[in-house]
Amino acid sequence: MIECYGSSQLNPLYVADDARRNQLLQEAAGLPSVVISSAAAGNAVMLAAGYFNPLTGFMNLAEAQSVAEKMALPSGLFWPVPILNLVPGGQAIESNGSGRIALLDPNVEGNPVLAIQTVTAIEKISQEQKEAIARHVYGTNDGQHPGVATFMGAGDTIISGPIEVLNYSYFSTEFPGTFRTATQIREMIAKNNWNKVVAFQTRNPMHLAHEQLCRIAQKTVGADGILIHMLLGKLKPGDIPADVRDAAIRKMVDLYFPENTVLITGYGFDMLYAGPREALLHAVFRQNAGATHFIIGRDHAGVGDYYGAFDAQTIFDQIPPDALKIEIFRGDHTVWCFKCQEVVMMRDCPHGKEDYLLLSGTKVREMLSRGEELPKEFARPEVAKILSEFYQSQGK
């Protein structure tokens, strides 16, 4: 199986030992505590699940700046996106002498303890420093960019240091059949005796073009199986909720893929919409999950018009060639061609746009909201039915 990233074995930060976890919960009752942001909670869950191996906790200011500017930690380890615990300066963080604090979950009622952090530094980050980080990571300082807005509004105090994570927040309870850790996915791949695995990232339902892109990639690289790995965390307004997306993808796989050729899984993280930088991060944690290949399609992890259609592919040409062992499958815009009578990648098709079925996201949402059938060349009818029911319920 492919090596995990940055170390000889995965080191997930979830405390699996029951006795140790109970001990930490008792300790937490006497510690200073802070309600962290949803983004920081997602970081903690990804650290817990082994996806952010080999990191041991939250970065400090110098590390965040190094990652933003150079895509590497001061140690030289390649890393594309700062992993931070940013809190508002108004929250006083006092030490009880132990140098440890309890991190409280903002996404679960009652704000239970999510993790315990050993604090190595508490630093202020200036507006100018945050803007510089945003420019590097998101390629813009535009406050209309959802990732920039979240980052700039997250607070001006960085709490750095290693963490021990006590649970997987709401992901394991709300998505028990889908949420999987990197370790669990590796175990599933091993059980299936798959040597080559192509991973597909999605924050949206999968229409016919996405389905076929997975098949094209699987055939091209000779993969034994496909890992459909969906984001389960917070999205921008207007995106389809994870439970609806999960149901739609499961229906598609159940009806249209051969049995035991697809793993449907999800991870607990809030979408960054960071385009190229997020694509690199996605590749890191898919390698940690055991995938040998990763599909990067058109405008991967993008939003609006902030990134070029294939910037998330070309950024892989800008990193050291030995930075990652996972291989990238570069997908083109995938559409139904009426002349070919199948879904094609535009780069492989001799025909033109006049021969393609091109539907905008706005048009698709309008049709679904009105209960209109989507063309069979665009979406599987069973998938469209699930999405139509969701959109029509939003109008009531």
Active site residues: 203-204
242-256 helix and 381-394 helix, angle to the nearest 10 degrees: 160
E strands, 26-135, are 33-35, 57-58, 86-87, 100-104, 113-118, 121-124
E strands, 176-259, are 197-202, 225-231
Strand-pair partners of 265: 229
Structure tokens at 194: 């798959």
CB neighbour class for 103 (10 Å; exposed up to 12, middle 13-18, buried from 19): buried
All residues at 6 or more sequence positions from 172 whose CB lies less than 8 Å from its CB, including other chains: 179
Cα separation, 297 vs 308, in Å, equals 12
Pairing of strands 100-104, 33-35: parallel
61-70 helix and 127-138 helix, angle to the nearest 10 degrees: 40
Q: Which DSSP letter does residue 209 get?
A: H
Report whether 234 contacts 270 (CB < 8 A): yes
Report whether 1 contacts 189 (CB < 8 A): yes
Nearest alpha carbon to residue 301 among 276, 265, 318:
276
